[in-house]
Amino acid sequence: MQVGIDLGSRTIKTVALMGGTVLHRRVVESGFEPHRQALQMLGEHPGARAVATGYGRHLMQQQAGLDIITEIKAHALGARHLFPYCRAILDVGGQDSKVIHLSADGRIVNFQMNDKCAAGTGRFLEMMAVSLGYDLRGFGEAAAVAEGSTPINSMCAVFAESEVVSLKNRGVPPEEIARSVHLAVASRLAAMVSKTCQCQHLVFTGGVANNKTLVSLLETTLGVPVLVPEDPSVIGALGAALHAGNS
């Protein structure tokens, strides 16, 4: 058996594989002591070959002697396993967004990652949802039914929040602001994708890919089909598990 563990900024994910089949997958909050949480999750699969990825990967390398790969490689492996012909992957997690461009045979030819800034990440959406009083699901749903939108100019989480506040105070309906935030994020992500690669279709992974409104806005903006795996948040862990099988 092989296990992949992805220690992300918000959640820890594990995927256990046997002969290419997913036996088990789990997503839990990182909490205050992510390494303890991660070691406990690994303990559920005694004797498995394990590979770590994500922000906490170095800690797992030091504390549990695991092999590590970056999130970029992990998402490439995971996405390619589910969509064998994919050439472009967008992964949006808690604090990062990345675009990965693959060659026809699956090698990474180029990638982009956001700088040290929350723009276009899960954290950005989360902050905007909170300032509008939505939970994450409700935020996406509200955006889907809004009748219009107002451009959000700032993609800095701090400034965007004050922009949202001023829109609220101008009487703009919250669902319309929600849609505006989604549009701003979609256009930022689309620009990042276009800058990295020309693609026939895009595989969208990471927790933010659960947001259906964002997926559909991204499809419209990019003009190509956006494919979302069944559980997009575990694709990094899946990739790590696949790597454990290769190494």
Residues 6+ apart with CB under 8 A from 246: none
Size of the site for another protein (CB under 8 A): 17
Residue 108 binds another protein, judged by CB under 8 A: yes
Instruction: Provide the terminal-to-terminal Cα distance of the chain, rounded to the nearest Å.
Output: 13
Out of 91, 96, 126, 175, point to the residue binding another protein (CB under 8 A): 96
Which residue's structure tokens are 């964002």? 214
Alpha carbons within 13 angstroms on the beta-carbon side of residue 4 total: 35
The region of 67-75, 118-126, 142-150, 182-190 touching another protein under the rule CB under 8 A is 67-75
Q: Which of residues 46-65 bind another protein (CB under 8 A)?
A: 55, 58
Smallest distance from the beta carbon of 76 to another protein, in angstroms?
9
The region of 34-42, 102-110, 181-189, 227-235 touching another protein under the rule CB under 8 A is 102-110
Residue 111 binds another protein, judged by CB under 8 A: yes
> What Å distances lie between residue 105 and 77, 101, 153, 196, CA to CA?
12, 11, 39, 18
Q: How far apart are CA 74 and CA 108, in angstroms?
A: 11
Residue 71 binds another protein, judged by CB under 8 A: yes
Residue 73 binds another protein, judged by CB under 8 A: yes
Smallest distance from the beta carbon of 113 to another protein, in angstroms?
5
Smallest distance from the beta carbon of 147 to another protein, in angstroms?
37
Residue 118 binds another protein, judged by CB under 8 A: no
**Footprint of another protein on this chain (CB under 8 A)?**
55, 58, 69-73, 96, 107-111, 113-116
